[in-house]
Chains A and B, each alone.
Chain A
Amino acid sequence: MSKHRAAIVGAAETTLMGTVPTMSQLQLHCDAALNAIADAGLTPADIDGIACAEEMPWLVAKHLGITPVWVDGTDVGGCSYIMHLSHAAAAIAAGLCTTVLITHGESGRSQVGVGPLDMKWTDMHRQFELPYGVWGPPSLFTIPVLRFMQTYGLTEEQLAMVHVVQRQWAALNPRATLRDPIDVDGVLSSRMVCYPFRKLMCCLVTDGGGALVVTSADRAKDAPGRPVYLLGSAEALEMPMISQMEDFTSSKAFRVSASRAFERAGIGHRDVDHLMIYDAFAHLPIYGLEDLGFVRPGEAGAFIAEGHTAPGGELPTNTNGGGLCYMHSGRYGMYALQEGVRQLRGTAAAQVPDAQISVVHGVGGMFGAGATAVLTNQ
């Protein structure tokens, strides 16, 4: 018996990413799913559990010819797939199913076949936030940062450095959208979107998808590729309204999720070889590094600006280029998981030498949800 409960045995993104008007959102799910199932050396007939966001599980399952006996349609935004992974591991350990397919697909840029429903628009948001000139994540997610800047002295230059450093990673990744070198002035001269956030402090808006195949660690021994094991995971919700965030300088969902995931995995911060922190906006890695406990409150801006998360740094972070430079379809968490898996398989474009433990942390909504997965190849 393996010491682990569950393993990722198939992982893939859509064949095309970026601007993909030739695929609907549903097809992005299915294209990624077929790639991931093939990567696992399986066929859809081997899948007996399904989890997805954006689309309803029954549609994705039926389209792929799967009759799942375990279903998870959790959709709390971009970290949903990290939750799916956690739930799938528990379901497999409980004997509810043997092999779970997790899919993401989002026609974020081309808006092909996108439904009208969106998890963000709860009634309390519609009554008490939307009427104030709100027009989407850039006008909401950015609101807490001025309080953070006043509290800790974080500067606009440090916010810009988050993009600069991730561009360094993206330069190493042929699939990344933004690869040309850029400096702080380049970021600070991009147009203002929602003060103090300029265009290059906001994520890309692209089309794409990704999928994972998860099974028991014992079954994973038969997989063609190197299994990536789930060492520990956790999740938390805070609120679906940014105005009701308890502390504008720290995410409760991040703190609760990450501390439990580290505890369950039995690891400390020094054990982490590679880190992914969902970066919908430039302040996310800053809140993330602090709330996950890698640095003390107020230190993350300088930590990133000094190069500790950059290529060659002690804590390689967002090594695919992140949502700022790699791609961001809307719910980016799947791409963070994919990069964690690639690093542990040794197949990343910007490979971290001998990476054994990768932590993947996601956000959902506007600091509304957090989910953390600790992955290992050992």
Chain B
Amino acid sequence: MDGREVPVPTPETKHFWDGTARGELLLQRCDSCRAVYFPPRPFCPACASRTVSVFKASGRGQLHSYTISHRDVPGYKAPYAIAVVELEEGPRLMSNIVDCPQTPEALRLDMPLEATFRQISETIWLPQFRPAGARP
């Protein structure tokens, strides 16, 4: 829409992006060894089992680390944080922290976060995070 990078789902990741369009953050769990993992793939990275299940994550997590970019890119006006969020279920994923000043003072490591979903194209909703309990 604005020249920004838009994910192109593959057969192995389509369920994830279908989930975010419904406002759900989906993870996968191995039915054999119970490992929870991300990014999506139809087999377990811990034990190689092909018997895995998709489940809805809580959407809760903590701010693991981040940088604050001071360069504008399509879809982003500097300064903005590029963050890694550790989900309650264990896996980490890259994201942005929204509804929060993009400053070191406001962005405290380990602060509790909750998922929110932003539409960036006709079909893609990007999972982002905001401080837990923050008003959008």
- A91 vs chain B, min Cβ distance (A): 31
- A130 vs chain B, min Cβ distance (A): 4
Q: How far is the CA of A11 from the CA of B31 in the complex (A)?
A: 54
Report which of B6, B9, B65, B69 forms a contact with A133, defined as CB distance below 8 A: B69
Give per-residue flags for A288-332: 1 if the beta carbon is below 8 A from chain B beta carbons, else 0: 000000000000000000000000000000000000000000000
Report which of A123, A127, A244 forms a contact with B92, defined as CB distance below 8 A: A244
Whether A132 touches B82, Cβ cut-off 8 Å, given contacts A142-B67, A143-B66, A147-B65, is yes
Residue with the greatest number of chain A CB neighbours at <10 A, chosen from B69, B71, B75: B69
Give every chain B residue within 8 A of A132 (Cβ-Cβ): 82, 94-96, 126
Does A63 count as interface, using CB distance less than 8 angstroms? no
Report which of A131, A134, A194 forms a contact with B126, defined as CB distance below 8 A: A131
Whether A135 touches B66, Cβ cut-off 8 Å, given contacts A127-B7, A146-B109, A195-B79, is no
Does A150 count as interface, using CB distance less than 8 angstroms? yes
Nearest opposing residue in chain A for B79, CB measure: A195
Contact B93 A128 (CB under 8 A): yes
- B34 vs chain A, min Cβ distance (A): 19
Give every chain B residue within 8 A of A269 (Cβ-Cβ): none
Does A347 count as interface, using CB distance less than 8 angstroms? no
Report which of A126, A192, A241 forms a contact with B7, defined as CB distance below 8 A: A126
Report which of A195, A241, A244 forms a contact with B70, defined as CB distance below 8 A: A195
Q: How far is the CA of A146 from the CA of B93 in the complex (A)?
A: 16
Contact A128 B67 (CB under 8 A): no
Whether A197 touches B67, Cβ cut-off 8 Å, given contacts A127-B39, A128-B94, A134-B82, is yes
Q: What band does the interface of chain B fall in when counting residues whose beta carbon is under 8 Å from A?
A: 20 to 34
- A313 vs chain B, min Cβ distance (A): 30
- A31 vs chain B, min Cβ distance (A): 33
Report which of B4, B8, B70, B84 forms a contact with A126, defined as CB distance below 8 A: B8
- B133 vs chain A, min Cβ distance (A): 23
- B81 vs chain A, min Cβ distance (A): 8
Give every chain B residue within 8 A of A134 (Cβ-Cβ): 5, 73, 82, 94
Report which of B4, B75, B82 forms a contact with A143, defined as CB distance below 8 A: B82
Does A124 count as interface, using CB distance less than 8 angstroms? yes
Q: How far is the CA of A243 from the CA of B91 in the complex (A)?
A: 10
Does A346 count as interface, using CB distance less than 8 angstroms? no
Does A193 count as interface, using CB distance less than 8 angstroms? yes
Contact A133 B80 (CB under 8 A): yes
Nearest opposing residue in chain B for A129, CB measure: B94
Does A43 count as interface, using CB distance less than 8 angstroms? no
Give every chain A residue within 8 A of B84 (Cβ-Cβ): 143, 242-243, 248
Whether A195 touches B82, Cβ cut-off 8 Å, given contacts A133-B96, A143-B66, is no
Nearest opposing residue in chain A for B96, CB measure: A132
Give every chain B residue within 8 A of A73 (Cβ-Cβ): none
Interface residues of B in 1-34 (CB under 8 A from A): 4-10, 13
Contact A123 B10 (CB under 8 A): yes
Does A225 count as interface, using CB distance less than 8 angstroms? no
Give per-residue flags for A111-154: 1 if the beta carbon is below 8 A from chain B beta carbons, else 0: 00000000000011011111111110011101111110010000
Does B64 count as interface, using CB distance less than 8 angstroms? yes
Interface residues of B in 49-69 (CB under 8 A from A): 64-69
Give every chain B residue within 8 A of A138 (Cβ-Cβ): 69
Whether A130 touches B5, Cβ cut-off 8 Å, given contacts A192-B70, A243-B94, is yes
Chain B residues packing against A (C-beta within 8 Å)? 4-10, 13, 39, 64-71, 73, 75-76, 79-80, 82-84, 92-96, 104, 109, 120, 126
**28 pairs across A/B with beta carbons < 8 Å?**
A127-B9, A127-B13, A128-B7, A131-B5, A131-B120, A132-B82, A132-B94, A133-B75, A133-B80, A133-B82, A134-B5, A134-B73, A134-B94, A135-B69, A139-B67, A145-B65, A145-B67, A146-B109, A147-B64, A147-B109, A191-B70, A192-B70, A196-B67, A241-B39, A242-B84, A243-B84, A248-B65, A248-B84
